[in-house]
Structure 1
Amino acid sequence: MATMRSMAIIGAGMGAGLSCAARAAEAGCDVQLFDKGRRPGGRLSSKTVFAEGLDFAFDYGAQYLTARDPLFRAQVADWEKAGIVARWPAAGADAWVGTPAMATIPAHMAGAHPVRWSTHIRSVARDATGWTLVHDDGREGPFDALVLAIPAEQVGPLIAAHDPGLVQRAAACPSAPCWTVMLGFDTRLSVADVPALREPIDWAARNPAKPGHGGGEAWTIHATEDWSRRHLERDAASVTASLLRAFEEQTGSLPPPIHAAAHRWRYARSAKGGTGTHVRPDIALAACGDWLIAPRVESAWMSGRQAADGLSSG
C-alpha cells in the first residue's frame, strides 16, 4: 500500500470499517474513520438502563458471533486473551459474546484508530488530488483512498456519480429490518435463558446469562424479519406491547416489566452478496461489509480486510 498514504473510511460500526483500518494501518497507511453514530457499536450495540433502583444491561443488536475462518478464529483468540470475548455455550458450541457487552468489541477495535463520531458524511467528491468528504460542519480531505463500510442501502446516494456498478451491486443486496424490544424485570423469570420461540419472535435471550455480563433481569427480544417488515412504521410503544404480549403468551405469565423499550433496526440483517468486497483500484475506492458476503460479524471483519488488501494490490 505504498502509494496509499491516506485513507478515509466511512463507517466504524460492526467491524468492516474497523478491520479495514487495522489492515491498512499495518501497511503504514494513515487512516481516518467517520461514523454518524455517537459511539462504537453499530449493530453490536449495547446499553445500560437504570430503572427503579435497578440497572439493566442490554445487548440489543447482534447477540453473539461465530468464528470459522482461520484468520478470524485467530482474531477471536486474541480478543479472548485480552478479556473482551468469552464463549456462550447456551447459544451454540461456536458462539462468542463480548464482555462485559457486545459493544466492547468495536470499542476495543476503535481505540486503535482515529474516529470522528457524530459525523454524517453527506457527499463525496474526487479530483486529481484525491477524495474529499463533505459533512455538516465542513469538508475533509483530500484522501488518497476511500472505503465505504456502510449498509448497502446507504451506498447509492454517496457514490452514484463515481461507480454506478457499485450502486447496482448494493441495490441487489437489500437488508432486512428488525424490531428489538428490551425488557427489564425486578425478579428472575422462570424461563430458559435462550427459549425456543415462534412468530412473531425470532430470538429472545436473558442478557445476564451471558458470561461476563451483569445487571438485573434484562431480556432482549428480536422480532422476525417478516413481522418487522410488516410493522416497520409502527410506533415503538405499540411494538413493545405486541412483542411483550407474544413473549408472555409463549412463556407463561410474567410480572410487569419495570423497563420496556423498543429499537427499530432498518438495516439489521444483510443479504448474502457472496463476493467479499468491491474494489476499484483505478479510482482508489472500495466497499466492504457483511452485505458483500453473508450476515455475520465474521463476514464484516473479513470483508474489511479484503478491501484494504484489494486497494493495496491494485
Structure 2
Amino acid sequence: MKMHVAIVGAGMSGLSCASQLVRSGHTVALYDKGRGPGGRMSTRRMATPLGDAHFDHGAQYFTVRDPAFMAQVARWSASGVAAPWPAAGTGAWVGVPTMNAVIKDMADQHDVTFGWHVRGLVRREDRWFLTGETAAGERLQAGPFDAVVVSLPPEQASAIVALHDLSLAATALAARSQPCWTGMFAFAERLPSRQDTVREAGLISWAARNGAKPGRKGPETWVVQASPHWSTQHIEDTVEQVTAALLAALSEALEETLPEPVTASAHRWRYAMSTGSNLGALWSAQSKIGVCGDWLLGPRVENAWISGRTLATRMMAREREEVA
C-alpha cells in the first residue's frame, strides 16, 4: 500500500527519509519552520559595506564512512555541490558554494513548505493532520496523511508526539542535546594568520576561516563555535555579550590583535549536538509515527542521513508485512 507521508523538519534526516520513501513510490510532503534549506547545516548571509558575507554557522564539514552515504557524496561531488576540504582533516567534505548547498540539492527534489512551524498533530478517522502557523502568526492545518515522520531534535520531537505515542516521547525525552553559541565575524582585510582552523582553544571548540572552504567568495569571514560547557554556562547571555567574548577568544587563539569587524553577530543553537544512541530510528506501526535524526545514532551529518534512510526502510518493511 502506497502511503502519503508528512515529514516535520526538512534537514538532512528528513530529506533522506523522504528520498527513500519517494523512490519506493510513496508520496511525501515536508514542512520546516526555517525560511529555506539548511537546518543545522544552515548558511547565514549578512550585508556588509564590502558586499554580502556568508557564514556556515552550523555544521562545519562532514565525513564519510557508510558505503551508501559515500555514493550520495559522490553524486554531490559530480554535480558540484560538495567538495573535499583538506584543512579540516582527511576525508572532510563541505557543501559548495555554501554548506547548505547539499540540503538545497535534496530539497529541490521534494515538495517542501518552508516557513511553516508545526506545533502539533491531530488524529481524525485514522488519518493524521498537522497544525501550525507561519512566521506571521497565520494558523494553518495540513492533511490528511497516512503517517507522520518527525525529524527534529529530541526535545522538540517529544513535545510533538507526546499526546499520541508515549513510548516514542519517552525515548526522545531520555536524549539530551548540548547547546552551542556560534560567532560570525567579517573583516575588511584577510587576517594574517596562517591558520584556517582552530580546535579546542580556551572557550573555543572550533573556529574556521569560512572563505578558506572551496567555492567561497566575498569578504574575509570567520566562524567561531564555543564549547558545549561554555555555551551551557552562557546560554541566556545576550548576542552582544557572546559576540564580544567569542571575538576576544579568537584573538587569543590566533595570537593576534584583531581589527574591528565590519560586521559581527552570534547565533544560539539550543539543540546543537547529542551523545547519540544505537537506535537508528523510531517507528510505531500502531500510531503510524516515526522519528529520525542524528541523535538516534551520533552527532555527525552522515548519521542524520543514515537515520532518515533507516526509518524509511522500517516503515516500508512493516507496510509490506501488513499487506502480506
TM-score range, shorter chain: over 0.9
Q: How much does 1:53 deviate?
A: 2.7
1:214 matched to 2:209: no
1:77 counterpart letter in structure 2: A
Relative to structure 1, the CA distance from residue 197 to residue 295 in structure 2 (aligned partners, 3 Å threshold; closer, same or farther) is closer
Q: Distance in 2 between matches of 1:236 and 1:274?
A: 36
Describe the SS at the equivalent of 1:212. Answer: coil
Match of 2:136 in 1: none
Q: Distance in 2 between matches of 1:305 and 1:159?
A: 20
Q: How does 1:72-221 map to 2 (within 5 A)?
A: 72-136=69-133, 137-191=139-193, 192-221=195-224
Q: What TM-score, normalized by structure 2, do the two folds share?
A: 0.93
Number of paired residues? Answer: 311
Deviations 1:75-96 (A, max 9, x none): 0001000100000011011100
Mean Cα displacement is larger for which, 279-288 or 48-57? Answer: 48-57
Q: Distance in 1 between matches of 2:211 and 2:118?
A: 36
Q: How does 1:152-301 map to 2 (within 5 A)?
A: 152-191=154-193, 192-251=195-254, 252-301=256-305
**Which blocks of at least 5 consecutive residues in structure 2 are unaligned?**
134-138, 319-324
CA contact (8 A) 1:285 1:311 kept: no
CA contact (8 A) 1:4 1:312 kept: no
Q: Distance in 2 between matches of 1:196 and 1:58?
A: 18
Q: Distance in 2 between matches of 1:237 and 1:124?
A: 37
Q: What TM-score, normalized by structure 1, do the two folds share?
A: 0.96
Which of the residues 33, 38, 44 maps onto 1:36? 33
CA contact (8 A) 1:4 1:144 kept: no
Q: Percent identity?
A: 45
Match of 2:47 in 1: 50
Q: Distance in 1 between matches of 2:34 and 2:242?
A: 24
CA contact (8 A) 1:197 1:250 kept: no
1:310 matched to 2:314: yes
Deviations 1:70-128 (A, max 9, x none): 00000000100010000001101110000000011111100000111111111102243
Q: How much does 1:310 deviate?
A: 0.7
Q: Distance in 1 between matches of 2:32 and 2:152?
A: 9
1:299 counterpart letter in structure 2: N
Deviations 1:136-174 (A, max 9, x none): 333211101110101100112211122111111111111
Deviations 1:224-275 (A, max 9, x none): 0000000000000010001111111222211111111001000111231221
Deviations 1:46-79 (A, max 9, x none): 1232212333221110000111000000000010
Q: Distance in 1 between matches of 2:199 and 2:297?
A: 28
Match of 1:69 in 2: 66
Q: Distance in 2 between matches of 1:141 and 1:54?
A: 42
2:305 counterpart letter in structure 1: W
Deviations 1:13-67 (A, max 9, x none): 2x00001110010011110001111110111011232212333221110000111
CA contact (8 A) 1:4 1:145 kept: no
User: What do you get for the CA RMSD once the two structures are aligned?
Assistant: 1.1
CA contact (8 A) 1:281 1:310 kept: no
CA contact (8 A) 2:50 2:188 kept: no
Describe the SS at the equivalent of 1:195. Answer: strand
Q: Distance in 2 between matches of 1:296 and 1:152?
A: 15
Relative to structure 1, the CA distance from residue 164 to residue 39 in structure 2 (aligned partners, 3 Å threshold; closer, same or farther) is same
CA contact (8 A) 1:290 1:296 kept: yes
Which of the residues 24, 27, 31 maps onto 1:27? 24
**Which blocks of at least 5 consecutive residues in structure 1 are unaligned?**
none
